[in-house]
Amino acid sequence: MPFLSPARWRKMVVMMATVDDKSMRRVGLLSMAIGAVALLFLR
């Protein structure tokens, strides 16, 4: 959360800006898959 640790948030945003598109897509796909599986188990 940016209001809890602005310096850490800023570092994370800078790091994400340097990550290539392919890696960002993989992370996004993985997080969506984990979320979908979690929803299946919690339902």
Q: What is the pLDDT of residues 5-29, one digit of tens each?
A: 889 989 989 998 999 999 999 999 9
Asked if pLDDT for residue 42 goes beyond 90, the answer is yes
Q: What is the pTM of this model?
A: 0.64
Residue 16 confidence (pLDDT): 87
Residue 37 confidence (pLDDT): 97
Which residues have a Cβ under 8 Å from the Cβ of 9 and sit 6 or more positions away? 1, 2
**DSSP letter, residue 4:** T
How far is it, in rounded angstroms, from Cα 12 to Cα 1?
A: 11
Amino acid at 21: D
